[in-house]
Amino acid sequence: MIIPNLDRLNQAMLNLLVSVSDSAILPRYRNLVSSEIADKGKNELVTIADRESEVLLAEGLEKLIPGLAIVGEEASDADASVLDGLSQQCWIIDPIDGTGNFASGNPPFGILIALCEGGLTQAGWIYDPLEGRFCHANRGGGAFIDGERIAAKTTGAAPPIAGISTLFMQDGQREQVQQNIAPHYTLVDIPRCAAEQYPRLALGTNDVSIFNRTLPWDHAAGVLWLNEAGGKAARNDGSEYRVDEWDKPGLIGAASPALWEELAERMARLD
């Protein structure tokens, strides 16, 4: 697939994502047997497609920029020392974001790749294998979909539309959010896929989202992309999301800084 106006790195990344999707992901979609799906625990599944695609992505990324640390979701699950790479210049890979959806034969799911240095994402890519949607951003360079620069837009709805994930919250926090945050928004189902949730925040589908768990492969690419689009994604206290602080809970994403501030103020008032 060739998209006009892509620079060399972004075109090479798109080529890699399409190749891995076509060879390791889409052939398995709605074609998995039970032995090809495993439970990692903590509401997490992994499939043979996750593992195969991560290996192929890692091989391809090493060819794009040799010598960088590679932090893959599945590799780090097998060996926690892989996470040490987050303190270096590194690639971060989520080979299939939304594995639960993929394993059930349902959209959405996607591939997330981030290039990081100094704990911060410098470039990020979000690819939807079913739709062929290619999102990318470089720090300070704007956000793009299929080579076209985009600007985040709100839904214009009153009250604003919120996709709030409470899955990984403690019971007390979940109750606080449901009682004191949810009534100020129109709630919609979450896609259980960051590769879909971040585009929803920029494309006028959702206005705000709350994430409690902030794993680097889920958020490194999307946080940068949304911020470069003119929305806002940051820790609940307003600090910048860092991939080397992935075990720190709490992240808010919004289609505009004003919507972010409004939700952050409400979150700050929770017990």
Q: Is 93 annotated as a binding residue?
A: no
Q: Which domains does the chain have, with CATH numbers?
A: 8-150 (3.30.540.10), 161-268 (3.40.190.80)
- pLDDT(101) > 90: yes
Q: How many CB atoms lie within 10 A of CB 160?
A: 20
E-strand stretches of the chain: 37-41, 44-47, 69-72, 90-97, 110-117, 120-128, 133-138, 143-145, 148-150, 161-164, 186-187, 208-211, 232-234, 251-254
Cβ pair 63, 13 in contact under 8 A: no
Average pLDDT over residues 107-133: 98
**Alpha-carbon distance 96 to 83, whole Å?**
18
Is 77 annotated among the ligand-binding residues? no
| Nearest-angstrom CA–CA distance, 212 and 196 | 17
Does 1 score more than 80 pLDDT?
Answer: no
Distance CA 124, CA 114 (A): 4
How confident is the model at residue 178, as a pLDDT?
84
Which tens digit of pLDDT belongs to each residue from 60-80?
Answer: 999 999 999 999 999 999 999
50 is in an annotated binding site: no
- 137-150 pLDDT, tens per residue? 999 999 999 999 99
Q: Where in 98-215 does DSSP place strands (E)? A: 110-117, 120-128, 133-138, 143-145, 148-150, 161-164, 186-187, 208-211
Residue 271 has pLDDT above 70, yes or no: no
- What is the pLDDT, as a whole number, of residue 92? 98
Centroid of chain to Cα 123: 13
Q: Summarize pLDDT for 205-220 with one digit per residue, the tens.
A: 999 999 989 999 999 9
Residue 240 marked in a binding site: no
Which of 12, 1, 3 lies closest to 145 in space, CA to CA?
3
Q: Is 94 annotated as a binding-site member? A: yes
What pLDDT does residue 200 have? 98
Paired strand residues for 124: 114, 137
| Helix, strand, coil in percent for the chain, rounding step 5 | 40, 25, 35
pLDDT reported for residue 41: 79
Tokens of residue 235, six digits: 């820790």
Of the given ranges (69-83, 88-102, 172-186, 205-219), which has the lowest mean pLDDT?
172-186
pLDDT score of 98 more than 80: yes
The pLDDT value recorded for residue 174 is: 79
Q: Is the pLDDT of residue 166 over 90?
A: no
